[in-house]
Amino acid sequence: IILLVNVKKKDLLIRSYHLFKVAFTFAPSLVAFILAPSLVVFTFASSLIFDLTQIANCYVGRPALVAFVTAGYPDETIPILHALQDGGADIIELGIPFTDPIADGPTIQTANNIALANGVNTPTVLKLVRDARASGITVPLMLMGYYNPMLQYGEKRMVQDARAAGVNGFIV
């Protein structure tokens, strides 16, 4: 499982330190990669099956443009991914719709609700990633979302299917 934590502010850096302490208490095999002053990647050493090189390279010597879109909203997600890639996005965060995204603002909540109403779910998102890769999307794709859908899908299955689809990592 990969967890990206944004640590742009000193306060968040302190919170990240506490997250490190808690994470190591529960999972001593946890490894943390500091890719840039603003990005920390957590991954379990025994589950390091994603190649983080492409993501790390986005942060070498310059800021990276990271874009977000909810999978399935609007319906034309793959053309939007192409527009983001063509527009210079270094990394694209692809949101997995969730029924109760209370930590997000009203815009993402609405996008989630519409995507779910359109029948988008975790298998749909993985198919979308496969189709996006087949259509020429080459930038790193990070699945972003709540833990609940991933747990319901099955952690091991999620990691295996995501990797096979062409996902570069998770933001949970």
What confidence tens digit (pLDDT) does each residue in 84-116 have?
999 999 889 999 999 887 777 888 889 999 999
Low-confidence ranges of the chain (pLDDT < 70): 1-53, 55-56, 58-59
Q: Report the pLDDT value the prediction gives residue 95, as an integer from 0 to 100.
A: 94
Q: Report the pLDDT value the prediction gives residue 7, as an integer from 0 to 100.
A: 40
Residue 93 falls in the annotated catalytic set: yes
User: Which of the following is catalytic: 93, 100, 155, 161?
Assistant: 93
Q: Give backbone dihedrals phi and psi of 169, rounded to 5 degrees, phi first.
A: 170, -175
Residue 100 falls in the annotated catalytic set: no
Question: How far is residue 127's CA from residue 112's CA, in Å, rounded to a whole number?
Answer: 17
Q: Report the pLDDT value the prediction gives residue 53, as an integer from 0 to 100.
A: 64
User: Which of the following is catalytic: 75, 104, 131, 161?
Assistant: 104
* pTM of the complete model: 0.70
Query: Peptide bond before 74: cis, by omega within 30 degrees of 0?
Result: yes
